[in-house]
A and B are shown apart, each in its own frame.
Chain A
Amino acid sequence: MARTLTDDQGIKRYLVNLKVNGDTHTVMVKGNALLVNVLREELDLTGTKKGCELGDCGSCTVLLDGKPVNSCLVLAVEAEGSEITTIEGVARNENLDKLQESFVNNAAIQCGYCTPGMVLSAKALLTRNPHPSETEVREAISGNLCRCTGYVNIVKAVLAAAEQE
């Protein structure tokens, strides 16, 4: 359990070690701090988007030990001890992941607000199932809402990336 400190108003704060994209960050958070807010505000990883804060839209998707989760539904204290991957951790230096490249090349991006979450959900899918069917792709991203693309080119991009395996 994380070490705690109680401030002079009696509010308990937790010392949490978050392993994000391979680096460990030590942050002091309240018990109700959401992972999405800690990533965005404390660590400045604003690639993780906030679209609804209800777990409906999937814009805040991150990988927790490889599994996609809505980071608006995860407490920061719960994430201690897990490997967290955000969109900033997907590309290696200037080299895009093949999924990212496929999104760019297949016109799968419009406003881009859902894109980080989409890429991470698709990445989790391809890790566990390198050759998914179209239906499996649609199921895997069905928790990520996109208002621009009708998902047509997103599905195409994920399938094209899988082809490269």
Chain B
Amino acid sequence: MSQEYAVIGKSVPRNDGWDKVTGKAKYTGDLKFPNLLVGKILTSPHAHARILSIDTSEAEKLPGVKAVITHEDVPSVKYGISPARWDENIFCIDKVRFVGDKVAAVAAVDEETVYKALKLIKVEYEVLPAVFDPFEAMREDAPLVQEEYPRNINTEIHQNFGDVDKAFAEAYYVRTDRFKGQRTYQSPIEPHSAISHWDRDKLTIYSSTQSPHYFQYYIAREFGLPMGSVRVLKTHIGGGFGGKLEPTGLEFAGAALSKLTGRPVRMFYDRHDMFAHNRGRHAQFMELKTGVDKDGKILAVHANFVMDGGAYTSLGVASAYYAGALLTIPYEFDNYKFDMFRVNTNLPACGAQRGHGHPQPRFAFESHLDNIAQELGIDPVEIRLRNARKSQTTTLNEFKVETCALTEALEKARDLSNWREKKGKLTSGRGIGIGVGSFVSGAGYPIYRTDLPQASAVIKVNEDGSEVTLYSGSVDIGQGSDTVLCQMAAEAMGYLYEKIRIVSADTELAPHDFGAYASRQTLMSGAAVKQAGEEVKAQLLEISAPGMGVTAEELDCREGIIFVKANPEISRTFGEVAREFFVKKGPLVGRGVYHVPKLGGKFKGAAVGTSPAYSFAAQIAEVNIDEETGEVKIEEVWDVHDCGKVINPALLHAQVHGAFYMGMGESVWEQVLFDDKGRIINANLAEYRLPTALDMPRFHSDLVDTIDPNGPWGVKEVGEGATTPVMGCISNAITDAIGVRINSLPLSYEKVWRAIQERKKNKSGE
């Protein structure tokens, strides 16, 4: 037993792999129930309109239709995932605010009847002037999307740390750049669906959700039920990336339809509905002003941002704060000003997409820093090394960073990619660029104010000790948390990974956990699981010690064998002792709970960006541009991550691959587009342009080691942080290749081609 750990640190196959690869895995839309109805929501065809009347009588008469509901049939309590701004209703009452806003819903015996019934609902609208641009929306004469937000300003932030003006005045070089990020959508491959069954006083909802807890909380609140009367659970989830974090009309309308009909109701979004429901990445307008000394050391930054929030708040208050808060993490500087307006428009609501609020500001900052480096004649890797954060530091906005190996990551990425041999030496059309990133390992505070712990877990050992079940409210949306948490439980108990089953993401069977968002589960759910496992182990050692002639302290348990540490020959099996425990004392159960220690400063918004630990990454990309067509080929990428102790290397690298992939799509291709009436013109995967297997470069994912004292076994996050460096990295590589900076995402072939034409024109005019 020479290795330190028996189970963690190993690439065990995921525990849902067999079911997923054979087609046995059931997703919400695959479930069948007796007497199941199908339901669908009627949405608004106008971006902004007053509802004058709704006539459902024809729809109700259609054979097979069981219920048609509007705002008159459901609670009118406003909801939303951001408690500071509850501004959504199950169905619109007075007016619709974007194309796709919820107006009515139908439940019927089959899909075909549902679609027919939706067409028979007559809604009379008075079309109102609409606003689609956040800057226009802020004008005094602009139509108001939500009456309670003057000038459509949904969230306004002004933070000021140190003395920015003084630092700019003293700086060797001050530069201002303006960047623009686009609206993107998570596009999980599984469309949202929910099956609601309101059976007497119990409402059960199977949902494609990233957080059964938040769904339970908000659904119970909406219908005036105790939380215990609402059970939310999921089977398998086909990806989320932030888009399945908040309850949708599918759950609310489905519950109401089920109550009315007394039958389970399956509601679903099609691909177009998903784009309209959205909650994807905000389009951000980012002005950055930075002052540096002559060595490129950052002295002060002013981030002046505007984001288009769409019609509702969603998680946008947090997105707005995150946009500025996390800019302070990778590089050390003392003076910082952050101004932000999140503005409502008559477009689908934006929310939290992988990297929440941060990837676009990171793109802007990494591009901006390269501009500064070029002006000063400093190598891009070098300027980052000079500014890189160190371990055991505190950011100016009071985030404590216990471990940070960004310097090592930069050096390793530089060496692996042969940066020195390539930078400035590549042939025409080729370029190399670098970007860095970082992210929270779980948010320091839950989304609504509560003293509930972040995570909890229960482990129950089977009566004969031959199997163990882990109960955790955490949510596996594909990232592999069920596998990683079972590894952690096995390690903590001294048991075998293969013999652990998990019951997760079910508000009735599993204990509380806030779910899959903010990259929190490995650290937070993991901490609770570790504690539960250790409690099981302690009880086993306690009961077996007398019979083995030693004290419990002299024993250990590993891979199912309890042994005397000084003499491992003396041993008993986990199963045998577990059985003895059950016979003598009853069920063998371990419990764990994780509270985040109090984090952060006292200023307004200080909570957003706090976390027990932060991941860091350096990423280098090589691109090849076709100067004739502007076509961008990303050739090869090196990503080096500092993500703490790794529990499952294969799953971890797989997260980096996927996070890069999403960032790559947003860098070059992906963008949600609208016509002048606010209708989405590319609400499908082909024209939105999800990258295919042919677009993905050769990819190298590597690590630098840290052990963060704030995470169980030293873990930190990886899933979201790995998206944060990508857009800046690719932007810098493209700039290196074509010699011109493009300041707006996506860096499409057309924009690249135009930039090249512009460059040629300027050159010939010289």
Contact = CB atoms under 8 A, between A and B. Distances in A.
Interface of A: 40, 44-54, 56-57, 59, 86-88, 90-91, 96, 100, 103-107, 109-116, 119, 137-139, 141-155
23 contacts: A44-B32, A46-B23, A46-B27, A47-B22, A49-B27, A49-B189, A56-B685, A87-B22, A87-B23, A96-B18, A103-B17, A107-B651, A107-B653, A110-B239, A110-B478, A111-B477, A112-B238, A139-B694, A143-B692, A147-B188, A150-B664, A151-B661, A152-B657
Given A110-B479, A110-B654, A145-B692, 8 more contacts: A104-B21, A109-B16, A111-B190, A112-B19, A116-B23, A138-B693, A147-B658, A150-B664
B711 interface: no
Nearest to B14: A109
Contacts of A113: 27, 188-190, 238-239, 478
Nearest to A157: B21
A115 B20 contact: yes
Contacts of A91: 22
B270 interface: yes
A62 B186 CA distance: 26
B13 A104 contact: yes
B84 interface: no
A137 B25 CA distance: 25
Given A49-B238, A56-B684, A148-B658, A100 B693 contact: no
B651 A145 contact: no
Q: Which of B22, B190, B478, B653 neighbours the largest number of chain A CB atoms within 10 Å of its CB?
A: B22
Q: Which of A46, A104, A106, A147 neighbours the largest number of chain B CB atoms within 10 Å of its CB?
A: A147
A54 B189 contact: no
Nearest to B654: A107
A46 B22 contact: no
Contact of B662 (A47, A143, A147): A147
B214 to A, nearest CB: 20
B282 interface: no
B11 interface: yes
B479 to A, nearest CB: 7
A36 to B, nearest CB: 12
B294 interface: no
Contacts of B190: 49, 51, 111, 113
A61 to B, nearest CB: 12
A112 B236 contact: yes
A109 B657 contact: no
Contact of B11 (A51, A107, A115, A116): A107
B699 interface: yes
B189 A145 contact: yes
A48 to B, nearest CB: 7
Interface string B629-643: 000000000000000
A47 B23 contact: yes
A151 B693 contact: yes
B427 to A, nearest CB: 23
Contacts of A142: 692-694
B52 interface: no
Contacts of B186: 147
B16 A112 contact: yes
B713 to A, nearest CB: 20
Nearest to A138: B693
Q: Which of A46, A52, A109, A150 neighbours the largest number of chain B CB atoms within 10 Å of its CB?
A: A150
A50 B266 CA distance: 15
Contacts of A88: 22-24
B323 to A, nearest CB: 23
Contacts of A139: 693-694
A147 B241 contact: yes
Contact of A154 (B30, B188, B693): B693
Given A113-B239, A149-B654, A52 B23 contact: no
A47 B662 CA distance: 25
Interface in B150-192: 186-191
Given A113-B190, A150-B699, A52 B685 contact: yes
Nearest to A55: B686
B238 A111 contact: yes
B545 interface: no
Interface string B382-393: 000000000000
B271 A104 contact: no
Given A49-B27, A103-B21, A111 B237 contact: yes
B29 A50 contact: yes
Nearest to B26: A46
B740 interface: no
A46 B30 CA distance: 6
B52 to A, nearest CB: 33
Nearest to B274: A52
Contacts of A96: 18, 21-22
Q: Which of A51, A138, A152 neighbours the largest number of chain B CB atoms within 10 Å of its CB?
A: A152
Nearest to B17: A104
B561 interface: no
A6 to B, nearest CB: 17
Q: Which of B14, B238, B241, B690 neighbours the largest number of chain A CB atoms within 10 Å of its CB?
A: B238
A148 B239 contact: yes
A147 B693 CA distance: 11
Contacts of B444: none
B198 interface: no
Nearest to B32: A44
A105 B24 CA distance: 18
A86 B660 CA distance: 31
Among all A-B residue pairs, the 5 with the closest Cβ atoms? A47-B23, A111-B478, A112-B20, A113-B238, A150-B661
Contact of A54 (B241, B271, B692): B271
Contacts of B17: 103-104, 109
Contact of A56 (B27, B30, B650, B686): B686
A90 B22 contact: yes
B651 A147 contact: no
B23 A149 contact: no
B21 A107 contact: no
A82 B21 CA distance: 24
A141 B271 contact: no
Contacts of B32: 44
Contacts of A115: 20-21
B6 interface: no
Interface string B186-207: 1111110000000000000000
B511 interface: no
Contacts of B658: 110, 147-150
Contacts of A40: 30
A8 B682 CA distance: 40
Contacts of B237: 111
B696 interface: yes
